[in-house]
Structure 1
Amino acid sequence: MSEVEKALQTFHSLKVKQVMPPLASMPIVTKDSPVVDVLKLLRTRHHVWVVNNRDDMKLEGVIRYINIVDVLLPPELQKARLGNISHLFKSILGGADRAEHVMERNVLTINEDASVLEALTKMKRYKVPLLAIIDENGKLVGEISLRILVNEFMRLMRIGGAQWSQSGSSSQSE
């Protein structure tokens, strides 16, 4: 077995709680936080987690950078579709003033004891680069992203001394 294969095998067997960043470094607001606070965080982040309160940390939703378009547009420029008018009410001009008004409620989660392989499989299945990590009580304890996973795999490669050699590269020297 090659060094790269060994690194991948080790990587896949890690628990997501072993590679997740500290909770203090995550962008988190409570559901009653002003939308302005969310926007401040989104200036430097791609998402913000929404919890019920700082004590319980029960995951309520997520606000993604891309969804802020709905918040900034006036309601009359939103296209209402039959059965889906919720995005009309996400506009600041439509009355959205707290995080709970603009968050996505259906958040993809994974248990803190799940493996990296399980996280990667879920990301692929649902075509998402980010999962909330929760404990058995639905408490937000971390996050795992494709970027975090790539960084961890590269760290394992350096520690193990594995060299990545890509055959068939267009930059081969002869």
Structure 2
Amino acid sequence: MEVESALERFHSLKLTDIMPRFETMPVVTADSDLLSVLKILRTRHHVWVVDSRENMKLVGVIRYRDVIDVLLPPEAHKFKLGMTSKTMRSMLGGATKAEDVAERHVLTVEEDATVLDALMKMRKYKIQVLAVVKDGKLVGEVSLRILIDELLRLLRVGGAQWRA
């Protein structure tokens, strides 16, 4: 298999065919305490926040880098105009649950999207992970690492060789 045909096949793959098993995803409910979130973030780059395990409605995401705002005291976030949304995300500012610190504007991709759709969105918004949703419910995730793994698998299986 030529690299070009491997890439064409890769781009047309459905995300549902390459997403990791749902049980392996970092997911917490909106009412989960922050210590549970921090424990997950020791080994993961993000945690998805859902309304409940029953409805799986996506509420937001907490990224590893967002933990800085959670750990800083509220006064570290204050500006001359007063309180900011980041002030409220601080543990000392009163944040106790996952929903208190979750970023609500989550970039998503629909369940029936292709790898190419996901890559285009990742490039446009300069991000490396997308929530995969169906009717607003979290059904999976796709990350640049997952996409790289899948491309390498395709190239190995197809016996493609990079040519200079």
Shorter-normalised TM-score: what interval? over 0.9
CA offset at residue 163 of structure 1? 1.3
Residue matched to 2:6: 7
Q: TM-score, with normalisation over the residues of structure 2?
A: 0.96
Asked if the contact 1:28–1:49 (Cα under 8 Å) also holds between the matched residues in 2, the reply is: yes
| Root-mean-square deviation (Å) | 1.4
Identity across the alignment (%) = 59
CA distance in 2, matches of 1:93, 1:82: 20
Residue matched to 2:70: 71
Distance 1:152 1:43, change over 3 A: same
Gaps spanning 5+ residues in structure 1: where?
168-174
Residue matched to 2:148: 150
Residue matched to 1:122: 121
Asked if the contact 2:29–2:49 (Cα under 8 Å) also holds between the matched residues in 1, the reply is: yes
CA distance in 1, matches of 2:76, 2:5: 53
Q: Deviations over 1:60-82 (max 9, x none)?
A: 00000001000001111224375
- SS where residue 45 of structure 1 aligns? coil
Gaps spanning 5+ residues in structure 2: where?
none
CA distance in 2, matches of 1:81, 1:15: 48
Q: Deviations over 1:29-66 (max 9, x none)?
A: 00000000000000000000000000100100000000
- SS where residue 128 of structure 1 aligns? coil
Larger Rg: 1
Asked if the contact 2:50–2:58 (Cα under 8 Å) also holds between the matched residues in 1, the reply is: yes
CA distance in 2, matches of 1:75, 1:161: 55
May I ask how many residue pairs the two structures share in their alignment? Answer: 164
Residue matched to 1:163: 161
